[in-house]
Amino acid sequence: MLDLKFVRENPEIVKKNIENKFQFDKLPLVDEVIELDAKNRAAKAEGDNLRASRNKLSKQIGQLMSQGKKDEAEAVKAQVKANADRLAELEAMEADLEVRVLKIMMTIPNIIDPSVPIGKDDSENVEIERFGEPVVPDFEIPYHTDIMKTFDGIDLDAAAKVAGNGFYYLMGDIARLHSAVIAYARDFMINRGFTYCVPPFMIRGNVVTGVMSFAEMDAMMYKIEGEDLYLIGTSEHSMIGKFIDTILPEAQLPKAMTSYSPCFRKEKGAHGIEERGVYRIHQFEKQEMIVVCRPEESPIWYDKLWQNTVDLFRSLDVPVRTLECCSGDLADLKVKSCDVEAWSPRQKKYFEVGSCSNLGDAQARRLKIRVDGESGKYFAHTLNNTVVAPPRMLIAFLENNLQEDGTVKIPKALQPYMGGTEILVPKQKES
């Protein structure tokens, strides 16, 4: 969320930013919120004047009564009554205007970084760099669920009966591989200086609206019926929410944390063959990283965060690339974002496995996360990035480590988390 004063003083900058994000329907909101804000400030000023005159008029009534000037005192009483009635109107008006202003301000997108490429959607994202050599083997790579089935490692049919489409049972070596990746990612981030945390998996509505836009909320979040609670779509939500309405001493920054959680998402509009299996699902587990820092440090942390994900995937022999998200692909709160994509030898292309975002002070402003510094209080900057989400990691891992005989090699970094296992053997190949 932007600073209202910034919008008031820089309407053309805000409008140009909206145009760069191709959200032309939001352009009228800038003039509307400025007009509403002007009315609100005028109402506040009038209300302040009425409150200031209240004591003065009350003293006049006392003086007039003591002088026996009853009629004049009654006239002043009438004025006090009229002022009180008007003040009540103004306070109601202020409350209404503040709600309307806040709703619009929660809708106007954050100002994107000047380095962000201008484009309408994810088809115009820009490749930054590749890490590792993408390889297409001489043999055919099966679809990821077909690979899992050779290990008796997945049951989608039973999950559909129990919970519906978009859920799964993982079993045996595949389930163990899933958990091993999570445990490895946890230790990987701890070794990089991040504090490990297991957060609440449900959050209140004010935290939801603090960490994401209304559009994201509608597309992602599951609400608990009859309660002010939502299932988290990622642990970033509750991790950033941890600092709601706090004032952090500047000396305690940065707060760099890595968290494990299950994630729950509606995933509206997911279609096509590449949305089957465990690619796009309603429930999955993830290791996340978040940072709360001083504004001048957020660009540095942004580069550190996406590099962590690249390094983790490369340690597991998975080639990846980074993509700079264009303006039209940025969620409203984001200043800058990049995707990490893993190589799929079956598809002969890269696919998204993580997203790194700098949100500036947007979340901090909504959640009132402030820093107490030498020059006064200011809003912190927040960042987040996926360390690893095993369902998609499993796809990349299995495809890139599959051998022609159907076995799957386990990279050295992961072997201690798999009980020393160096290679997975399909059930029909076991003797």
Write down which residue in 80, 105, 130 finishes a domain.
Answer: 105
**Within this chain, do residues 276 and 243 fall inside the same structural domain, yes or no?**
yes
- The whole-number pLDDT of residue 80 equals 77
Same domain for 196 and 71:
no
Tell me the pLDDT tens digit for each residue of 389-422: 988 999 999 999 999 999 999 999 999 999 999 9
Residue 116 belongs to some domain of the structure: no
pLDDT of 214 reads 81
> What are the structure tokens assigned to 153, written together?
């490692």
Same domain, 73 and 130: no
pLDDT at 92 over 70: yes
- pLDDT for 58 equals 67
Q: What is the pLDDT of residue 64?
A: 67
The 10s digit of each residue's pLDDT in 134-166 is 999 999 999 999 999 999 999 999 999 999 988
Any idea which of 49-63, 81-95, 254-268 has the lowest mean pLDDT? Answer: 49-63
317 DSSP β-pair partners: none
Question: What pLDDT score was predicted for residue 234?
Answer: 93
Residues 44 and 127 in one domain: no
Give me Rg for the CA atoms of the chain: 28
338 in any annotated domain = yes
Which of 354, 248, 235 minimizes the C-alpha distance to 293? Answer: 248
- Residue 273's pLDDT is 45
CATH number for position 356 = 3.30.930.10
Question: Does residue 57 share a domain with residue 88?
Answer: yes
Predicted pLDDT of residue 431: 44
Residue 112 lies in a domain: no
Structural domains counted in the chain: 2
Residue 372 and residue 230 share a domain: yes
> Measuring CA to CA, which residue among 407, 196, 193, 181 is closest to residue 301?
193
Nearest Cα neighbor of 237 from 270, 269, 259 is: 259
Instruction: Tell me the per-residue pLDDT of 258-300, one tens digit each, with 9 for 90 and over.
Output: 999 999 999 765 544 455 788 888 999 999 999 999 999 999 9
CATH number at residue 28: 1.10.287.40
| Domain assignment of residue 113, yes or no | no
| Mean pLDDT of the region 365-372 | 97
For residue 429, pLDDT over 90 is answered with no
Q: How confident is the model at residue 73 (pLDDT cuts 50, 70, 90)?
A: confident
One domain, residues 11 and 138: no
Range of the domain at 99: 4-105
The band of 81, judged by pLDDT with boundaries at 50, 70 and 90, is confident
**Virtual torsion, Cα 284, 349, 347, 181, nearest 10 deg:** -30
